[in-house]
């Protein structure tokens, strides 16, 4: 890879972070994708690339047997990269504009039934401050539909407990308000009053202090939340792979099943497009079919 390509890659990273305001995860993925592409180009100039050359690169990628979703992301990264270069007048056109992404498989999101959720939550021992914190976290994930990264980034200034509201910052730092149930609120209040202090000994948290902390007083990271779920799931016999995002899926599915408006669910989840929310209507419809087939004597 030549020095000019390295410079463009650095400028592209700043563009994603500052102008596009992409999440850290997306920036890392896009930069990794473009770095691989530039290494493949070797010493050839970026300006030399055309539709045919990029197509050759996609043929090269096939040997790694990436999923359709990963391939689609790599194509999106290349498109965005050349769109940036075109805007900066580094290239005369976007040679990746006409590259088609593979059709992604529409898998229905995994979710938990109310009985399964109760089984998980009720099997979390609360005999230590850290375990009480973990129970509070899972109660909040299920009650609000927050992403695990949004929960990890919560500060005290984001809490409006009296109004059962929490301000979160989602993808692209988009701000939204999520609502908490009375049950989740009770866990949160008790955690703040007792368990949090016992974990890190911080008597009076500041407004910019993290809500959820580890024993050293630092912000609890998303992997710690995943570990807490894994610890519980090891003791249960559920034929499902449960992640923090499954709690989010379960939240949305339950709202729609109980008659919530699709637009309301979209707002609570922080989806920029309602098409992202509509997949949960398919989940509800699938459950309806399963119930029908199981209950009706002439269904089969």
**Residues assigned a catalytic role:** 147, 171, 245, 248, 271, 280
Q: Is the dihedral of CA 263, 268, 273, 277 positive or negative?
A: negative
Give the count of beta carbons closer than 10 Å to the beta carbon of residue 240: 13
Residues in the chain: 300
DSSP the chain: --HHHHHHHHHHHHIIIIIS---HHHHHHHHHHHHHHHHHHTTS-GGG--HHHHHHHHHHHGGG---HHHHHHHHHHHHHHHHHHHHTTSSSS-TTTTPPPPPPP-PPPP---HHHHHHHHHTS--SSHHHHHHHHHHHHHHHH---HHHHHT-BGGGEEGGGTEEEEE-GGG-EEEEE--HHHHHHHHHIIIIIHHHHH--SS--TTSBSSB-TTSSBPPHHHHHHHHHHHHHHS--SS---HHHHHHHHHHHHHHTT--HHHHHHHHT-SSHHHHTHHHHHHHHHHHHHHHHH-TT--
Q: How far is CA 190 from the centre of its chain?
A: 27
| CA angle 137–141–142, rounded 5-degree value | 120
């Amino acid at each position: 890879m030549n020095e000019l390509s390295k410079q463009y890659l650095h400028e592209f990273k700043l563009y994603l972070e500052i102008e596009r305001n992409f999440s850290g995860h997306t920036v890392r993925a896009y930069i990794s994708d473009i770095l691989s592409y530039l290494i493949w180009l070797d010493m050839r100039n970026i300006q030399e690339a055309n539709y045919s050359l990029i197509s050759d690169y996609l043929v090269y990628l096939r040997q790694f047997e990436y999923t359709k979703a990963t391939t689609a992301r790599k194509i999106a990264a290349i498109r965005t990269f050349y769109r940036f270069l075109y805007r900066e007048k580094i290239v005369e056109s976007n040679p990746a504009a006409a590259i088609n992404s593979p059709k992604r498989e529409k898998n229905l999101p995994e979710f938990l039934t109310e009985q399964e959720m109760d089984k998980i939550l009720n099997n979390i021992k609360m005999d230590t401050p850290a375990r009480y914190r973990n129970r509070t976290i899972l109660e909040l994930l299920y009650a609000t539909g927050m992403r695990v990264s949004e929960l990890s980034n919560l500060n005290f200034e984001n809490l409006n407990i009296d109004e059962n509201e929490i301000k979160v910052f989602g993808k692209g730092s988009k701000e939204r308000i999520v609502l908490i149930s009375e049950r989740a609120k009770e866990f949160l209040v008790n955690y703040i009053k007792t368990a949090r202090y016992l974990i890190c000994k911080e008597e009076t948290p500041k407004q910019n202090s993290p809500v959820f902390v580890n024993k050293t007083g630092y912000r609890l990271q998303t992997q710690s939340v995943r570990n807490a779920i894994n610890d519980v799931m090891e003791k249960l016999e559920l034929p499902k792979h449960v992640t923090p995002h499954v709690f989010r899926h379960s939240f949305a599915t339950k709202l729609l099943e109980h008659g919530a408006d699709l637009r309301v669910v979209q707002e609570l989840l922080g989806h920029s497009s309602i098409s992202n929310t509509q997949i949960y209507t398919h989940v509800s419809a699938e459950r309806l079919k399963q119930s029908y087939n199981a209950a009706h004597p002439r269904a089969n």
